[in-house]
């Protein structure tokens, strides 16, 4: 088990991680999520003893990494797949790591097979693609057959088959009782891979809960209603009736209506009572991505501006009606679902959309390079995506974000994801929390002198 208590890291006046307390338990895949620059890599480096906390502590199995007996046999990590000697053959690279840790050479060939690199084992890694480099990094992490594994963005650069393989590998490792801690920005992938989530924003804990609980707590399901396109007055009539009944109605870009706050049968009755014909009435569940966006919207440091000219906006011709405004669009909790034709496309036309990955094809998922082989120890099937309550009450509307802001003010975490406080007795002296605005630098508290920036050591072998 990995346990962080009051973990804080300052680089000069920059607080990268603040008062972070969490546990990563064995037997589960724990996803580590957060916007860019939120402190995920810094946290992982501190777990691996590559950076010293300014205050607080993190242990693996009760020991700080540097005090772990035979650490490479207990902990494996992929932090930066590019951190290899490019002139070395893949096998030699692993052999060097193995020899440093007293791991027998046959294990090198085993892990090369597990990651599907056996055919290029004697090729120099500088010629490897991004995906091959990731596989080599994963092989290095598995070398010591460790009980605790950390992966920082392991699917970075992998093709769909590789992503599926990593997903199954993570799940199989956890099923063997290992502790698997994995960071990713691919929400659809995390929804399929992780059992538990730790979410941070601006270095602070936002949520520590199961994937299902996270989605339920941070998202509202909704109903989609479509009236006949040929009779726009029906849409307006239904909108008024639903609003009057206490529903929250948002027009979607394709002309449908998104309704929250009313159950499906009630929407149907209201449509019937108001003589509005429906072409569609369907329940929709929020995805992990939607829940994540909702939770972290106030903790994003780097956000694209809205460029009005980039949207190919045409001037409205004289006499023509301007396009119908879309209330809520652009607000932090406005999410359009995928267009209907994507949802109901034939199976062979489905592609992973922005709100969910397509299901894996049936068949074994052995490591690439071994086609036709039965599902091995790392070939478990992925479960279905978690369900969410489609009729959860409407969350209060957040104020409209002014376009053009690249720095977002910090928002208080949602109550459901309120960070867990570490035991008071264990909490060390802390520097002041990061300031509420991105422009104001965090202040150091007396007694916790900021540590000078440490060398950026991210090489996996440095941890060994």
**Residue numbers at the binding site for ligand ATP (CB under 6 A):** 11, 14, 16, 34, 36-42, 453, 456
Cα–Cα distance measured from residue 448 to residue 432, given in angstroms and rounded to the nearest whole number: 9
257 vs 299, beta carbon nearer ligand ATP: 299
| Closest CB 302 distance from ligand ATP, rounded Å | 8
Residue 175, CB-side half-sphere exposure with 13 Å CA sphere: 14
For the chain, the maximum distance between any two Cα atoms, rounded to a whole number of angstroms, is: 80
| Closest CB 152 distance from ligand ATP, rounded Å | 7
Cα–Cα distance measured from residue 261 to residue 396, given in angstroms and rounded to the nearest whole number: 11
37 vs 327, beta carbon nearer ligand ATP: 37
Q: Which residues pair with 73 in a beta bridge?
A: none
Q: For residue 434, what is the enclosing H or E element? A: none
| Closest CB 316 distance from ligand ATP, rounded Å | 40
| Closest CB 230 distance from ligand ATP, rounded Å | 47
3-state helix, strand, coil in the chain (%, to 5): 30, 20, 50
| Closest CB 54 distance from ligand ATP, rounded Å | 12
| Closest CB 63 distance from ligand ATP, rounded Å | 23
Cα–Cα distance measured from residue 400 to residue 228, given in angstroms and rounded to the nearest whole number: 31
Cβ neighbours of 62 (radius 10 Å): 9
| Closest CB 75 distance from ligand ATP, rounded Å | 19
| Closest CB 201 distance from ligand ATP, rounded Å | 9
| Closest CB 424 distance from ligand ATP, rounded Å | 27
273 vs 456, beta carbon nearer ligand ATP: 456
Q: For residues 338 and 74, is the Cβ–Cβ distance under 8 A?
A: no
Cα–Cα distance measured from residue 111 to residue 139, given in angstroms and rounded to the nearest whole number: 5
Distance of CA 211 to the CA centre of its chain: 11
Q: For residues 112 and 362, is the Cβ–Cβ distance under 8 A?
A: no
36 vs 253, beta carbon nearer ligand ATP: 36
| Closest CB 27 distance from ligand ATP, rounded Å | 25
Neighbour-count burial for 133-168, b at 16+ CB within 10 Å, e otherwise: bbbbbbbbbbbbebbbbbbbbbbbbbeeebbbbbbb
Closest CA to 242 of 263, 216, 218: 263
Cα–Cα distance measured from residue 89 to residue 106, given in angstroms and rounded to the nearest whole number: 16
In sequence order, the 6+-apart residues with CB closer than 8 A to the CB of 440 are none
7 vs 138, beta carbon nearer ligand ATP: 7
Q: For residues 195 and 189, is the Cβ–Cβ distance under 8 A?
A: no
Cα–Cα distance measured from residue 338 to residue 287, given in angstroms and rounded to the nearest whole number: 11
119 vs 456, beta carbon nearer ligand ATP: 456
157 vs 376, beta carbon nearer ligand ATP: 157
34 vs 116, beta carbon nearer ligand ATP: 34
304 vs 347, beta carbon nearer ligand ATP: 304
Q: Which residues pair with 200 in a beta bridge?
A: 205
39 vs 247, beta carbon nearer ligand ATP: 39
Cα–Cα distance measured from residue 129 to residue 134, given in angstroms and rounded to the nearest whole number: 9
Over the Cα atoms of the chain, what is R_g?
25
Cα–Cα distance measured from residue 432 to residue 434, given in angstroms and rounded to the nearest whole number: 6
Cβ neighbours of 122 (radius 10 Å): 10
147 vs 156, beta carbon nearer ligand ATP: 156
| Closest CB 199 distance from ligand ATP, rounded Å | 11
């Amino acid at each position: 088990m990995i346990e962080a208590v009051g973990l804080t890291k300052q680089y000069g006046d920059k607080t990268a991680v603040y008062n972070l307390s969490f546990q990563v338990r064995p037997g589960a895949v724990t996803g580590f999520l957060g916007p860019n620059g939120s402190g995920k890599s810094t946290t992982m480096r501190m777990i691996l003893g590559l950076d010293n906390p300014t205050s607080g502590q993190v242990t693996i199995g009760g020991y700080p990494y540097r005090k772990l007996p035979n650490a490479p046999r207990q902990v494996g990590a992929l932090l930066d797949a590019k951190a290899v000697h490019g002139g070395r053959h893949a096998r030699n690279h692993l052999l060097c790591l193995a020899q440093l840790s007293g791991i027998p050479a046959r294990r090198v060939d085993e892990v090369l097979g597990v990651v599907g690199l056996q055919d290029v084992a004697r090729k120099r890694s500088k010629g490897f693609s991004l995906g091959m480099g990731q596989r080599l990094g994963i092989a290095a992490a598995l070398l010591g057959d460790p009980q605790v594994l950390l992966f920082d963005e392991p699917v970075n650069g992998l093709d769909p088959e590789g992503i599926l393989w990593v997903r199954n590998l993570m799940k199989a490792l956890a099923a063997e009782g290992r502790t698997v801690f994995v960071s990713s920005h691919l929400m659809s992938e995390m929804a399929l891979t992780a059992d538990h989530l730790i979410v941070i924003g601006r270095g602070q804990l936002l949520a520590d809960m199961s994937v299902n609980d996270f989605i339920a707590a941070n998202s509202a399901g909704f109903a989609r209603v479509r009236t006949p396109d040929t009779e726009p007055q029906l849409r307006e009539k239904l909108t008024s009736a639903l609003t009057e009944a206490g529903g929250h109605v948002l027009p979607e870009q394709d002309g449908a209506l998104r309704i929250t706050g009313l159950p499906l049968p009630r929407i149907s009755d209201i449509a019937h009572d108001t003589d509005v014909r429906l072409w569609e009435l369907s329940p929709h569940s929020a995805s992990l991505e939607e829940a994540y966006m909702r939770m972290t919207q106030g903790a994003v440091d780097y956000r694209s501006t809205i460029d009005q000219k980039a949207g190919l906006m045409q001037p409205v011709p004289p006499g023509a009606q301007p396009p119908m405004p879309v209330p809520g669009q652009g607000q932090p909790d406005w999410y359009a679902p995928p267009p209907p034709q994507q949802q109901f496309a034939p199976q062979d036309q489905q592609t992973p959309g922005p709100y969910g990955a397509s299901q894996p094809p049936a068949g074994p998922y052995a490591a690439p390079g071994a086609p036709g082989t039965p599902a091995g120890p790392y070939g478990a099937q992925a479960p279905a995506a978690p369900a969410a309550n489609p009729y959860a009450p409407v969350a209060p509307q957040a104020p409209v974000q002014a376009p053009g802001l690249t720095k977002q003010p910090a928002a208080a975490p949602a109550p459901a994801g309120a960070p867990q406080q570490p035991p008071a007795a264990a909490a060390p002296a802390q520097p002041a929390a990061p300031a509420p605005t991105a422009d104001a630098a965090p202040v150091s508290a007396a007694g916790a002198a900021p540590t000078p920036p440490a060398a950026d050591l991210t090489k996996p072998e440095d941890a060994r």
